Amino acid sequence: MELIFDHITGKQEQQDFQHFRLRAYLDGNEEDDPLEQGWLADDTPYQGHECWYQSRSTRIELRPGLLKKPRRREVRGQPIQMLEIRPVDSMLKLTGMETLYHSFLKKKGYRDLYNPLRHIHQRDSFLVYYIDDVSNMIGFTKIKKYRWQDDVNDENFDDDVPYMTGIETHMHCNTEDIGMISLEMEIEWAAAKHCRYLYLGPGYEKSSIYKSSIPGFQWWTGQKWSKNVEQYRQACMKDSEITRIADLGAK
């Protein structure tokens, strides 16, 4: 693993503060160990190559009987169906996912910071949610697949075989209130592929607290994977309270 540091800004006159972005390039197929050390694959290439990043990552430990009472999977009385697709860049506009993504941003009031359609890596696929017909799409999730160390080569990411060490739900977008329903469907889908963990991406601010309510929840402290739900929730609440650099040092 080769570490890359982008030193962005800092303070030293009245405060001791450094802001930098940490990334890493992987050597070979070493994906199992980095996942255990809190790394996830970045969706945005760096200097033309995929790199990995550190964050307060979250994950679910998959085990039999994890979802004892799944939610009713319907919208307006119609069953929600799911399909995995692997569109290439040139196909994205034809799928309708780009229109759905921008409708999702408008509904949530989010800025376009993490467009899941901007870069498609060989490890990426999409779970599409629809009712009645696949053309009636109501949501999608970008999925990233991680392999066991040195088990397979790059060309095998799209094979439906149980070689993956983990799966990440990179971003959920929907025009109906199906967020938790789709997450439960993803948990079952990942478990069927014999993965030990389903990674839920970074866990920051109040909007990420819901992740801690899922059975099997764990989060990366920077030193270890923790099951301390209350500590995680307090950290997320603190994130949303921070509006100035000076707030970072507040007790």
pLDDT at 149: 55
How far apart, in whole angstroms, are the C-alpha atoms of residue 110 and residue 130?
23
How far is Cα 48 from Cα 148, in angstroms, rounded to an integer? 24
Average pLDDT for consecutive 10-residue bins of the chain (251 residues)? 88 82 82 91 88 95 82 90 84 80 86 84 91 89 81 48 75 87 91 90 94 94 96 95 73 49
CA 159/CA 2 separation, integer angstroms: 28
Provide the pLDDT for residue 249.
Answer: 60
Residue count of the chain: 251
Cβ contacts of residue 153 below 8 Å, gap of 6+? 29
The reported pLDDT for the residue numbered 111 is 81
Cβ proximity of 243 and 230 under 8 Å: no
Residue 192 confidence (pLDDT): 86
Q: What is the pLDDT of residue 21?
A: 87
Say what the pLDDT of residue 153 is: 47
Q: Residue 34 belongs to what H/E stretch?
A: helix 32-36
Contact 251, 238 (CB under 8 A): no
3: part of which helix (H) or strand (E)?
Answer: strand 2-11
Overall fold of domain 57-249: Aminopeptidase (3.40.630)
Tell me how far apart the alpha carbons of residues 40 and 168 are, in angstroms, rounded to a whole number. Answer: 9
